[in-house]
Amino acid sequence: MLLTIGSLLAGCRTEDPVIVCGREWNPALQIVADTSTEFGMGEPLYIQFRYGTGFDFTTLKMSFYEGTLANKGPEIWSHDARVSEKMSSYTLQGRTKHSEFMSARELTRHKEPGTVVIEISTDGRVLASKQITLVKK
């Protein structure tokens, strides 16, 4: 009986929220591809927050910080987005004035190579954090 209950609970479990960063965007599948944690300053950068099932909140805040996960520094900038229960992921992909996708430098607004912390939160509660490294290429 315990095995049956355990199997049912395991089947109901949702995946943990995760931040995925990559150089490529697949519009047909609506996913970030070519995932990495290190990006050249001039390379494209797409950031996707995957929640697993539909969002159970209506606003999402994506913040960028100087520093590392262990030593988070000052906020560089943040982006607020409206989401719904019909969505299970949110992708941040900026466009330049010339309609090109933004580079890692432009999207993170980080001027020099180094580490950046990306944090996703809602109502003051942090859902996921990720550290990426920007390098000269």
What secondary structure does DSSP assign to 87-129, as a single string? -SEEEE--B-TTSPBPBHHHHHT--SSEEEEEEEEETTEEEEE
Domains in the chain (CATH in brackets) are 15-135 (2.60.40.1930)
Residue 98, pLDDT > 80, answer no
Summarize pLDDT for 17-36 with one digit per residue, the tens.
Answer: 999 999 999 999 999 988 89
pLDDT digits (tens, 9 = 90+) for 46-65: 999 999 889 999 999 999 99
pLDDT at 46: 96
* DSSP state, residue 137: -
CB atoms within 10 A of CB 119: 20
Q: What's the number of CA atoms in the CB half-sphere (13 Å) around residue 33?
A: 7
Helix (H, G, I), strand (E, B) or coil at 7: helix
